[in-house]
């Protein structure tokens, strides 16, 4: 290996590590989404062996949840496949947008990278991928994609394993609550987010007796208003 090749390999590894690091803040939400999917599949009646296989092969939570009731009800195969394809049509747009950055990658590797495309993978890559030279962009994409793939499967398999220990009456409400908590916690590190969450929580308790869940709506609006107000005050002080 000559010095030029060595430098290119080093640059590619650095880009891949940076891509992985850029995805770390999304881990809680990604794990939570995988957990919701895993619990849903385990409690669907599909059977754990089939659920494990589907979770491993189909790296697409929304498509899995859309196809799941069709599989359980023994719907025609073409209906199930068409439903999954319709849900995942956005990946055609993602692939077209990524074509310029990944066109120089050999076909076999390009197919592997295509399997790893996810919503957050696409967002992070499109936001930061342009900072890298054309030769190292595929490596950066790979780092981002792996950092999305691993926590999602961790959450999915954890959901499959834990579903048997979750009381059946909790259902998907429990998994949904975990997902919301995972999304909420990162927001609490900022003053606007913390203030909004505290106000919304207090208002939801105070207004719980209102009919038709209007108290929850008012609490949400109140929390948003307080968060915006705190954010504006913080900007004025800078």
Number of neighbours of residue 235 by Cβ within 10 angstroms:
8
pLDDT of the chain, 238 residues: tens digit per residue = 556 566 777 888 889 999 999 999 888 888 888 887 888 777 777 777 877 887 778 787 777 777 777 777 788 888 888 888 887 888 888 888 888 888 888 888 888 888 888 888 988 898 888 888 888 899 999 999 999 999 988 988 888 887 666 665 555 555 556 556 655 666 666 788 888 888 888 988 888 888 766 777 788 888 888 888 888 888 777 6
Whether residue 209 contacts residue 215, with contact meaning beta carbons closer than 8 Å, is answered with: yes
């Amino acid at each position: 290996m000559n010095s030029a090749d060595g430098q290119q390999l080093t640059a590619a590894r650095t880009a891949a590590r940076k891509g992985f690091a850029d995805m770390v803040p999304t881990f809680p939400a990604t794990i939570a989404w995988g957990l919701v999917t895993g619990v849903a599949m385990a409690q669907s009646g599909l059977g754990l062996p089939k659920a494990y296989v589907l979770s491993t092969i189909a790296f697409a939570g929304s498509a899995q949840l859309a196809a799941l009731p069709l599989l359980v009800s023994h719907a025609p195969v073409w209906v199930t496949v068409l439903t999954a394809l319709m849900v995942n049509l956005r990946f055609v747009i993602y692939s077209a947008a990524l074509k310029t950055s990944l066109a120089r990658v050999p076909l076999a590797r390009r197919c592997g990278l295509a399997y790893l495309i996810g919503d957050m993978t696409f967002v992070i890559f499109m936001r930061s991928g342009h900072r890298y030279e054309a030769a190292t962009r595929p490596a950066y994409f790979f780092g981002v994609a792996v950092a999305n793939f691993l926590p999602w499967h961790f959450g999915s398999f954890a959901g499959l394993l834990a579903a048997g220990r979750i009381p059946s009456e909790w259902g998907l409400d429990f998994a949904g609550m975990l997902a919301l908590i995972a999304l909420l916690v990162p927001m609490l590190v900022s003053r606007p987010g913390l203030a909004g969450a505290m106000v919304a929580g207090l208002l939801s308790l105070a207004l719980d007796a209102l009919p038709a869940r209007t108290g929850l709506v008012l609490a949400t609006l109140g929390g948003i208003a307080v968060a915006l107000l705190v954010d504006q005050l913080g900007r004025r002080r800078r």
